[in-house]
Amino acid sequence: MILLIKNGHVINPATETDEVADILAEDGKVVKMEKNIKAKADRVIDAKGCYVMPGFIDMHVHLRDPGQEQKETIETGCNAAAHGGYTTILAMPNTKPVVDNPDVVKYVQNKAKTVGVVNVLQVGAITKGQQGKELADIRGMYEAGIPAISEDGRSVMNSELYREAMEIAAELDIPVLAHCEDINLVNGGVMNEDAHSKELGLKGITNSVEDIIVARDIMLSRDTGAKLHLCHCSTRDSVKMVQHAKMEKTKVTAEVCPHHFTLTSDDIHKIEPSIDQEKKLAIDADADTNFKMNPPLRSREDVQALKEGLRDNIMDVISTDHAPHTFEEKNTSMKKAPFGIVGLETAACLTYTELVLQGYLTPMQMAEKMSYNPAKIVGIDKGDIQPGKIADIVIFDPEKTYKIDKTKFASKGRNTPFDGREVTGKVMATIVDGRVVYEAEA
Ligand SMILES: NC(=O)N[C@@H](CC(=O)O)C(=O)O
Ligand SMILES: [Zn+2]
């Protein structure tokens, strides 16, 4: 298969390329990148007016298989990733059963290979069943190919056990993807603790719930030499602590999710209780549960600090924390609904609209945070378009303005707070191993 991408504006952080060029890919690899390539190709794509970037790499996806295929399957999740411009995704281990041994790792790997849409790297859990009591078979899972370990969905509260896990991660030279949340301090909170939570009569989650564990994890990374990657940072103090840790040469990197730099706690609107006439069911709604995720949407000051942290390259990665849930689970109340929103199909346009067009990021930084940096952190030879490299590419039109429409999602999950939101920037095509796996309608 020979693919020729014509006239695109290539943005490639690895080589600092920022110019219009053609790209020729053959047998899954880039073979040539220069102006006016004349070659016979099976497929020619005209990318005039579009950015051509290394395919996005999402370090934080919940695929829900095994065990919760009503929320998402590996197939629907991979299709959602392709729609979003992602060519590689890291799948978190909080499935049912938990991915805590090599067999479950292989189960996901095989299924993803059969689906064959995007690259799926399955992350291994830190403790057995994510129970926080006994270490999982980290070495066995490493042999099976995990790129990282994570207890995402919760924190390992036992610091000694966590330190042991970090020592193993340091020895294997894989990063620890840290979900930072003091489980005891959450105390049933469902949204940010502030004036708005009081107004809605809902229990709050303080910034310290995150900050305390961020501080601890940085200290443990320093003690063990393990590479620490902080998941879904939401507070201004997280940004400050990452900045400080980097000055001290601690091996820390950090990610921010689009919802945390786009929305604040004040965007959570009230919903009155109602009766589902058809099902004769009382819905004891309180507020829109599509705004409930963990960590929660924070204050304006936090959002500003996250944007500046991304701008100043303190924060390295934009990940989605794609967390699909069913309509039935979300059509309840803030108290009852599960935490999490989908993100694979809205991350690129939100990043472009909220950060690039607002002057926080250059398109080059967008490519760094959505592809090049994740590849470096995970230690994979991706996120780079140049001759000899794998042809994982996204074509992104920075001019298209439209409204997000959740009914068009490839994901099973429709739990997004962004439905109907006007955005600029559209994924036009996603190419994995030189194959076009997604193309937008013209
Ligand atoms: N972020 C969320 O609100 N939910 C995630 C878990 C997680 O990423 O912590 C999920 O698995 O649903
Ligand atoms: Zn998490």
Which pLDDT tens digit goes with each residue over 102-158?
Answer: 999 999 999 999 999 999 999 999 999 999 999 999 999 999 999 999 999 999 999
Q: How many CB atoms lie within 10 A of CB 363?
A: 17
Instruction: Report the separation in Å between the CA atom of 378 and the middle of ligand 1, taken as the mean of its atom positions.
Output: 20
Catalytic residue among 100, 321, 392, 397: 321
Domain that holds residue 281: 55-384
- Give this prediction's pTM: 0.98
Whether 288 sits among the annotated catalytic residues: the reply is no
Q: Which residues of the chain have pLDDT under 50?
A: none
pLDDT of residue 274: 80
pLDDT of residue 101: 98
Q: Does the residue 281 lie in any domain?
A: yes
Among the bound ligands, the one closest to the CA of 179: 2
Among the bound ligands, the one closest to the CA of 62: 1
Instruction: Report the separation in Å between the CA atom of 294 and the middle of ligand 2, taken as the mean of its atom positions.
Output: 7
Q: Of ligand 1's atoms, which has the minimum distance to the CA of residue 294?
A: 3
pLDDT of residue 246: 98
Q: Of ligand 1's atoms, which has the minimum distance to the CA of residue 292?
A: 3
Instruction: Report the separation in Å between the CA atom of 152 and the middle of ligand 1, taken as the mean of its atom positions.
Output: 7
Q: Does the residue 429 lie in any domain?
A: no
Q: Does the residue 322 lie in any domain?
A: yes
93 Cβ closer than 6 Å to some ligand 1 atom: no
Q: Does the residue 399 lie in any domain?
A: no
* Nearest CA, atom 9, ligand 1: 153
pLDDT of residue 25: 98
C-alpha distances in angstroms, 208 versus 38, 212, 213, 305, 416? 58, 6, 8, 16, 26
153 Cβ closer than 6 Å to some ligand 1 atom: yes
Give counts: helices (H), strands (E), the chain: 14, 20
Instruction: For ligand 1, pick from 61, 293, 298, 344 the residue to mutate: most ligand atoms within 8 Å of CB.
Output: 293
Q: Does the residue 24 lie in any domain?
A: no
Instruction: For ligand 1, pick from 90, 99, 152 the residue to mutate: most ligand atoms within 8 Å of CB.
Output: 152
pLDDT of residue 297: 98
Q: Does the residue 401 lie in any domain?
A: no
* Nearest CA, atom 2, ligand 1: 340
Q: Does the residue 419 lie in any domain?
A: no
**Residue that the structure tokens 């590419």 belong to:** 393
Report yes or no for ipTM above 0.90: yes
Q: Of ligand 1's atoms, which has the minimum distance to the CA of residue 231?
A: 8
Report angle CA 337, 207, 258 to the nearest 5 degrees.
65
pLDDT of residue 387: 98
178 Cβ closer than 6 Å to some ligand 1 atom: no
DSSP track, 362-405: -HHHHHIIIIIHHHHHHT-S-S--STTSB--EEEEEEEEEEE--
- The pairing of beta strand 176-178 with beta strand 228-230: parallel
Instruction: Report the separation in Å between the CA atom of 358 and the middle of ligand 2, taken as the mean of its atom positions.
Output: 27
181 Cβ closer than 6 Å to some ligand 1 atom: no
Q: How many domains does the chain have?
A: 1
Residues at Cβ < 5 Å from ligand 2 ion:
152, 179
94 Cβ closer than 6 Å to some ligand 1 atom: yes
Q: How many CB atoms lie within 10 A of CB 326?
A: 16
Instruction: For ligand 1, pick from 190, 294, 412 the residue to mutate: most ligand atoms within 8 Å of CB.
Output: 294
User: Residues 413-442: pLDDT tens digits?
Assistant: 999 999 999 999 999 999 999 999 999 987
Instruction: For ligand 1, pick from 260, 321, 330, 334 the residue to mutate: most ligand atoms within 8 Å of CB.
Output: 321
Alpha carbons 54 and 12: distance in angstroms, whole number = 7
State the angle between helix axes of 102-115 and 74-83 in degrees (0 to 180), rounded to the nearest 10.
60
pLDDT of residue 284: 74
pLDDT of residue 100: 98
Alpha carbons 203 and 188: distance in angstroms, whole number = 7
Instruction: Report the separation in Å between the CA atom of 156 and the middle of ligand 2, taken as the mean of its atom positions.
Output: 12
Q: Of ligand 1's atoms, which has the minimum distance to the CA of residue 340?
A: 3
Residue 288: closest CA among 214, 341, 344, 213: 341
| CATH number for the domain harbouring residue 93 | 3.20.20.140
* Nearest CA, atom 6, ligand 1: 153
Alpha carbons 40 and 63: distance in angstroms, whole number = 39
Q: Does the residue 307 lie in any domain?
A: yes
